[in-house]
Structure 1
Amino acid sequence: MGLIDFGARAAPPASPGKAPQAAVSSEEAEARAHFEEGVARFDKQEYREALEAFRRSLWLKKNRNTMGYIASCLKQLGQYDDALEQYEEMRREFPQLPAKIEAMVAADMAELSGLVGTLVVTGDAPVGASLFVDDRLRGRLPLDKPLRVSAGSRAIRVEKEGFAPLTMTVQVKAGKENVAELVARSRKGRLVVSEKHNWVLRVELDGRDVGVTPWQGLVDVGEHKVRLHGFMGVEALAACEAPGAPAEDGAKVASGFEATSVRLYEETRVVLGAEEQDASLRVESTPEGATVRIDARVVGKAPWEGRLPLGQHVIEVSAGGFFSAKQTVQLERRKQREFSVSLERQPDLVAEARAARIRKLGAGLAYGVGVAGLGVFAVAGGLALDKVNELDARCPNKQCPYTEAGNRRTAAALGTAATVGVVAGGLGVAAGTALLLLVRPERGERHAGPSVSAGVGLGGFEVKGMF
């Protein structure tokens, strides 16, 4: 690689077309000193030191020769892409180069063009990240155009504040467009969550408590649900003051769920507004100690007092031996509601059923006695009637001989037995009927009311009843 002589080695840098001045400024003198140092270093092939000296000179005063030497130093250091860019800048600053120098520059640029390729960054390329090639900052992503890079193995590093850097090695081919496809090992994005009043509340991320507002952290790429919840002191809530730490009690406040999408290596901000979410409720019951259910969930025994979310709630109070009471209440912000109920006692169905069974059993026994009594009446009455008819046949004009005295006593005894039987039967039937009237009909029985019919005769007795 040949070197280009850009001017007299000891000549001070001067702008083209201008005559030397008798006196130069201190800035120009300093620029000349750096230029001369650079030339001396260049001649000794100390190209890195020469490059620094030429750059100090160029910073003080733009000069064609200085820019040409910088390009030559970069070429000797293997930074072909930077050398090519330096020549291009030189041409922009000094478009009317002498023909000899222009020819040498054109030849050098043609040689350099065969030593560089272009680089395109794709894949997981974070927007706004810094791109380093061989530890040299080459720009920010996304690139406006393919980046010119010297051929060979190049170390690519992409950095964005708050995230792990992405690194890879690319084999750059001269005269080709080379692609660096970045792949992130940790697929994270940054999520920042705050409350619009600057309240300090708990942050619930995808059902997990992750901290308090303002909160930020790295989360997996994709969809997430965020909610704020906690407590605020009543005084702070009324004044809309921002506490310095989360409150442990007070008015319950919360926000709704916010769905947000987090993208790779990007920061997503979520601002949520929390509102007071509960009101006070007191539940009292007669008798005390009744079970209190709110929205079908047991919360305690009456009297009970607590805080609930705003809106409608179903309150149910129940106790053993009493009918339960249920009511829907509407809870409003900063208002206390009271719910008082007197429960109605339930009938003792077991005791009533037992008493009904006893009454039915008694009625059955009474009817049994009545049937038995009427049976005695029927039999004894029939026998007594037979004896009376026999005596009437044997005793004309009601005058019976002494020998019929036994039959007369038998007829009298049978008559007495029949009388006793009919009285007992009547009492039994009456008692059974009275007991049946006291028994409640079973659920589902169909009846038009109680009715009883009875028939009595010498040959038998029949009783029918419907209740």
Structure 2
Amino acid sequence: MRSIHSRSLVGWVLALGLIDFGARAAPPAPPGNAVQAGVSDDEAEARAQFRVGVAHFNKQEYREALEAFRRSLWLKKNRNTMGNVASCLKQIGQYDDALEQYEEMRREYPKLPAKIEAIVAADMAELSGLVGTLAVAGDAPAGALLFIDDRLRGKLPLENPLRVSVGSRAVRVEKEGFAPLTMTVGVKAGEESVAELVAMSRKGRLVVGEKHNWVLRVELDGEDVGVTPWQGLVDAGQHKVRLHGLMGVEALAACEAPGGAAEEGAKVASGVEVASVKPYEETRVVLGAEEQDASLRVDSTPEGATVRIDARVVGKAPWEGRLPLGGHVIEVSAGGFFSAKQTVQLERRKQRELSMSLERRPDLVAGARAARNRKIGVGLTYGVGVAGLGVFAVAGGLALDKIKELDARCPNRQCPSTEAGNQRAAAALGTAATVGLLIGALGAVAGTGVLLLTRPESSKRRPDPRVSAGVGLGSFEVKGAF
């Protein structure tokens, strides 16, 4: 390969440069710092920087020479200064930039003298063998800055592969808000190399806003991540986004954007939107939230009744508050009254007023007292009846015994005078038994009457009771259905 440090080529370029500037120069000015007549300040400074560049180049201080030649070129465009810039770039190993400089020189000066054209063509042919091309693929974020060997080479995506000097090249891609992507690529002469970027963390930026500029909570994949406007790095892929929160009623009516998240007010929420996030790219999602509840007022008769909404106690009537849209079960209850329930359907931005009257329960104390008295009355009457029947059974049994004795002692029912006492005793026992039977029957009838007449109102609708009674010597039985 031909030597990169071509002093002969550089020499003629420098010589031509001096001749070129000399051809345009006016006659020498008097000694001192005065500017030569007919030479502008920029041209004079360009000439001075050119000479500085020549001095550095002769000392092989190519980077310093490059800076001086570029300052000269910036002050005054000159074909030979452009050639000197290309020579410096070649000497410091920036073959791709040197080749581009020669190409620009040809575009600016398409009709170069034959001698210069021949030298430039030869140098470009040599440089073409010292460069390859580089393409960027993989996780290459659009809009990112591409640096090669710490030199900015453009933005991604590239329209065409870049021409790059051969050798090991450090590739770095930077995008604001993301960690840079870096890798090293080996570039070969005349070949295209590909920098296949791989992100260590495949994240993208998600930006979430609300179309009314309301400050609402952001729910990302079911988790609260902050308030709108919100942005953050998330894993690449699909994410579910939803907004929810509270809005002051006045701000909601005026559709105003509050200064911060409201602590109370109407419930508002958006639908769920799926955001597709790509690595190293920004995805914007703007959701529109709508009011999700309505106002409800509950009054009760009597006042102060407990109000339950969907089985949850919310307070005492009169009660007023906001509830989610849709159906709700309202229940009102108070001591001494039957509870009342009603289902309401709440609609957006419509206030509902609900008045509920409770039916009084029967006097429980009076009912308990009546029940107790009823038990006592029934117990007493049945007790007297049982006692009477007991007397009947005992007296009747003794009377029968006396009668049997008399039958044994008095043939043909003719009793001597000595049995008069036994006859009177038998008669007395019979009378007692009869009286006991009458008392037992009256007690049973009276107890049954008290039972029927004092039964609660709730049982009066039942069918008529069926009662049967049986009386026998030494026993008494009452059966019935009530």
Place the TM-score, normalised by the shorter chain, in its bin: 0.7 to 0.9
Which residue of structure 2 lines up, in the alignment, with residue 229 of structure 1? Answer: 245
Which residue of structure 1 lines up, in the alignment, with residue 30 of structure 2? Answer: none
RMSD over aligned Cα atoms: 4.4
CA distance in 1, matches of 2:69, 2:183: 33
Q: Structure 1 residues 13 and 329 mapped into 2: Cα distance closer, same or farther (>3 Å)? A: farther
Q: Structure 1 residues 148 and 331 mapped into 2: Cα distance closer, same or farther (>3 Å)? A: same
| Structure 1 residue identity aligned to 2:390 | A
The answer to whether the 8 A contact 2:385-2:439 is kept is no
The answer to whether the 8 A contact 2:393-2:473 is kept is no
Using the TM superposition, give the Cα deviation of residue 80 of structure 1 relative to its aligned residue in structure 2, in angstroms: 1.2
Residue 82 in structure 1 maps to residue 97 in structure 2 = yes
Alignment of 1:164-313 (within 5 A): 164-206=179-221, 210-222=225-237, 223-232=239-248, 234=250, 236-286=251-301, 290-313=305-328
Using the TM superposition, give the Cα deviation of residue 159 of structure 1 relative to its aligned residue in structure 2, in angstroms: 1.8
CA distance in 2, matches of 1:433, 1:464: 11
Q: Structure 1 residues 243 and 411 mapped into 2: Cα distance closer, same or farther (>3 Å)? A: closer
More divergent stretch after superposition (382-391 vs 127-136): 382-391
- Identical residues among aligned pairs (%): 71
| Structure 2 residue identity aligned to 1:10 | L
CA distance in 2, matches of 1:218, 1:419: 107
- Number of aligned residue pairs: give it: 454
CA distance in 2, matches of 1:319, 1:463: 43
TM-score by length of 2: 0.75
| Structure 2 residue identity aligned to 1:147 | L
Q: 2:425 aligns with which of 374, 391, 410?
A: 410
Which residue of structure 2 lines up, in the alignment, with residue 121 of structure 1? Answer: 136
| Structure 2 residue identity aligned to 1:417 | A
Q: Structure 1 residues 462 and 379 mapped into 2: Cα distance closer, same or farther (>3 Å)? A: farther
Which residue of structure 2 lines up, in the alignment, with residue 393 of structure 1? Answer: 412
Could you report, residue by residue, the CA deviation over 1:327-380 in whole angstroms, capped at 9, with x for unpaired residues? 222334555433333444567699599858878866875664465355357546
| Structure 2 residue identity aligned to 1:393 | N
Using the TM superposition, give the Cα deviation of residue 460 of structure 1 relative to its aligned residue in structure 2, in angstroms: 6.8
More divergent stretch after superposition (239-248 vs 361-370): 361-370
Q: Structure 1 residues 88 and 368 mapped into 2: Cα distance closer, same or farther (>3 Å)? A: farther
Could you report, residue by residue, the CA deviation over 1:222-252 in whole angstroms, capped at 9, with x for unpaired residues? 4142414232351x44333344455554545
More divergent stretch after superposition (160-169 vs 384-393): 384-393
SS in 2 for 1:265: coil
Could you report, residue by residue, the CA deviation over 1:68-91 in whole angstroms, capped at 9, with x for unpaired residues? 322211100110121122233344
| Structure 1 residue identity aligned to 2:310 | D
The answer to whether the 8 A contact 1:251-1:278 is kept is yes
Which residue of structure 1 lines up, in the alignment, with residue 16 of structure 2? Answer: 8
CA distance in 1, matches of 2:131, 2:60: 23
More divergent stretch after superposition (355-364 vs 217-226): 355-364
Could you report, residue by residue, the CA deviation over 1:167-205 in whole angstroms, capped at 9, with x for unpaired residues? 344444444433333344454433333332233444454
CA distance in 2, matches of 1:217, 1:254: 21
Q: Structure 1 residues 385 and 430 mapped into 2: Cα distance closer, same or farther (>3 Å)? A: farther
The answer to whether the 8 A contact 1:359-1:439 is kept is no
Which residue of structure 2 lines up, in the alignment, with residue 112 of structure 1? Answer: 127
The answer to whether the 8 A contact 1:374-1:461 is kept is no
Gaps of 5+ in 2: 27-36
CA distance in 1, matches of 2:20, 2:316: 100
CA distance in 2, matches of 1:384, 1:342: 74
Q: Structure 1 residues 438 and 262 mapped into 2: Cα distance closer, same or farther (>3 Å)? A: farther
| Structure 2 residue identity aligned to 1:120 | A
CA distance in 2, matches of 1:107, 1:366: 145
Alignment of 1:328-347 (within 5 A): 328-344=343-359
CA distance in 1, matches of 2:474, 2:306: 66
Which residue of structure 1 lines up, in the alignment, with residue 467 of structure 2? Answer: 452
TM-score by length of 1: 0.77
Which residue of structure 2 lines up, in the alignment, with residue 375 of structure 1? Answer: 393
Q: Structure 1 residues 9 and 402 mapped into 2: Cα distance closer, same or farther (>3 Å)? A: closer
The answer to whether the 8 A contact 1:373-1:424 is kept is no
| Structure 1 residue identity aligned to 2:143 | G
Gaps of 5+ in 1: none
More divergent stretch after superposition (249-258 vs 154-163): 249-258
CA distance in 1, matches of 2:478, 2:244: 81
The answer to whether the 8 A contact 2:396-2:430 is kept is no
Residue 49 in structure 1 maps to residue 49 in structure 2 = no
Which residue of structure 2 lines up, in the alignment, with residue 156 of structure 1? Answer: 171
Using the TM superposition, give the Cα deviation of residue 138 of structure 1 relative to its aligned residue in structure 2, in angstroms: 0.4
CA distance in 2, matches of 1:273, 1:461: 86
Which residue of structure 1 lines up, in the alignment, with residue 33 of structure 2? Answer: none
Using the TM superposition, give the Cα deviation of residue 284 of structure 1 relative to its aligned residue in structure 2, in angstroms: 3.8
CA distance in 2, matches of 1:331, 1:51: 79
The answer to whether the 8 A contact 1:376-1:418 is kept is yes
Q: Structure 1 residues 68 and 243 mapped into 2: Cα distance closer, same or farther (>3 Å)? A: same
